[in-house]
Chain A
């Protein structure tokens, strides 16, 4: 378990930055600090590489996906997906 680098949340006066900060405050182990009026946040990074249960769940999901995913390919140009490890 490591920590991410300090992420800068720009213009804390902005609505989106305020909202972001409000959500970050609810996250366990998230660290927040302010230097020279600039707010930074940092998170705990759990790098647990594909435990068996996760992999099984994932494989099941992928197989489930295959059945109906061909239709969406027909006229799409750019495909983008994110999958958790």
Chain B
């Protein structure tokens, strides 16, 4: 078990202890309230039996004496203490009800003192006391009702269900008809060794999703991508340098970037060429390499646009449109690289939280009229050792209806950004609470 998991368990135990302690303190507080009430009634009946000197004082003096009497002050202190305990520690107790309860208990004590010494008819005293008792019991019962309701709700709706409900709310809160599906994926990133080579494994599992009525969507249930750590780490280092270049716009970095990207492209292309040289089947790792390669090519295209190419928009930090044979492979091999395994989500995981990955692949030259925008919304590092790889990512895949044009319309991007923000808020909220989602 990792250090973080142990720490989390300790926090949960500590939290449970505090919760039990608070409940215990609340129960004592409630008992004190009852005691205050019965204490008051005890003195009423005691004084009824010894009220021979009644009627010797005027009403003003009598009320004042009752207010400052030892019994009333003792009740007031008990009431104040009980009310404080209830408000402080009973999470769902109504402050208003607690305060009213405390005042009723105090005033009935004062009233009883006055009633005995004035004296008031015994029937009025009994009616007033009965009314006070009924009201106090009613308030005590109602004080507990909201707590019970919420607790039973908590049992019914688990943490994960509440998370899914809120995520679904964030996903579906759009009327933008161009967004036809929004699917969440949880990715666990870990390091594995295959044949003595350190590899990074991305285990992707589908999560909450929203699909607009009338659309068919193929969804990935579970998929695992594997890439050499060398490829992943060099890609992410270059990506950071690239972002630095984009932010600061230093021309010198542009040249350096191209010098870094070109050898990577050559290395990856050479790896893919072995498919045809060795006449072997296209593997899942080849598909992952192809994804890294096209992202590199999209960066290169922006950094060093081919003057003959029609793709020359410097608006994106990467953009490329590949034709059959652009990867120096046969169309059949290229087709397999992008259709055997869908790797668009891997692209988003590689790019990290600061960029979106937009992509589409046209099978057999058909226009499907759908674009995809994958975005990594949160990354959590769980690695116990500094240089180890153990991360959790939340990636959101937006399926956009976009006919003909390669670009996604601006109002759709605006809607995507809003959904990203809403989903990130839910993810952060549940991450802070230590959810089990």
A17 → chain B, closest Cβ, in Å? Answer: 8
CB <8 Å contact, B356 and A83: yes
Inter-subunit contact B362/A81 (CB<8 Å): no
Closest Cβ of chain A to B13, distance in Å, is: 28
CA distance A16 to B243 in the complex (A): 19
| Chain B residues, Cβ within 8 Å of A45 | 352-354
- How far, in whole Å, are A20 and B235 apart by their CA atoms in the complex? 11
Interfacial residues of chain B within 202-245, with CB under 8 A of chain A in the complex? 229-230, 233-234, 236-238, 240-241, 243-244
A62–B413 touching, CB < 8 Å: yes
A69 touches B407 (CB 8 A): yes
Contact of B230 among A6, A10, A71 (CB under 8 A): A10
Describe A's contact surface by its main secondary structure: mixed
Residues in B232-276 with C-beta less than 8 Å from chain A: 233-234, 236-238, 240-241, 243-244, 246, 253, 256-257, 259-260, 263-264
Cross-chain contact B318 with A24 (CB below 8 angstroms): no
Verify if B18 is at the interface (C-beta below 8 Å from A): no
Chain A 63-85 against B: per-residue CB contact (8 Å), 1 yes, 0 no? 11110111111011111111111
Q: Is the Cβ of B299 less than 8 Å from the Cβ of A82? A: yes
When C-beta atoms are compared, the residue in chain A nearest to B363 turns out to be A77
Contact A9 B237 (CB under 8 A): yes
Contact of A27 with B413 in the complex, beta carbons under 8 Å: no
Interface string of A9-51 (1 = CB under 8 A from B): 1100001110110111011001000010010110101110110
B233 lies within 8 A of A82 (CB): no
B313 near A82 with CB under 8 A, answer no
Contacts of A46 in B (CB 8 A): 354
- B176 CB to closest chain A CB, in angstroms? 14
Contacts of A78 in B (CB 8 A): 294, 321-322, 334, 338, 359-362
Contact (Cβ within 8 A) A71 B322: no
B residues within 8 A CB of A60? 410
Nearest Cβ on chain A to B285's Cβ, whole angstroms: 17
- The answer on a CB contact under 8 Å between B358 and A82 is yes
On whether the beta carbons of B234 and A27 are closer than 8 Å, the reply is no
Give the distance to chain B from A51, nearest Cβ to Cβ, in Å.
Answer: 10
Instruction: Determine whether the beta carbon of B240 is less than 8 Å from that of A43.
Output: yes
User: Which of B's residues lie within 8 Å of A, judged by CB?
Assistant: 198, 229-230, 233-234, 236-238, 240-241, 243-244, 246, 253, 256-257, 259-260, 263-264, 294-295, 297-299, 310-311, 313, 315-324, 334, 338, 347, 351-362, 365, 367, 371, 375, 381, 383, 386-387, 389, 391, 404-410, 413-414, 417, 420-421, 424
Given contact pairs A10-B229, A79-B360, enumerate 7 new A-B contacts (beta carbons under 8 Å): A38-B387, A59-B414, A69-B405, A80-B294, A82-B356, A85-B355, A85-B417
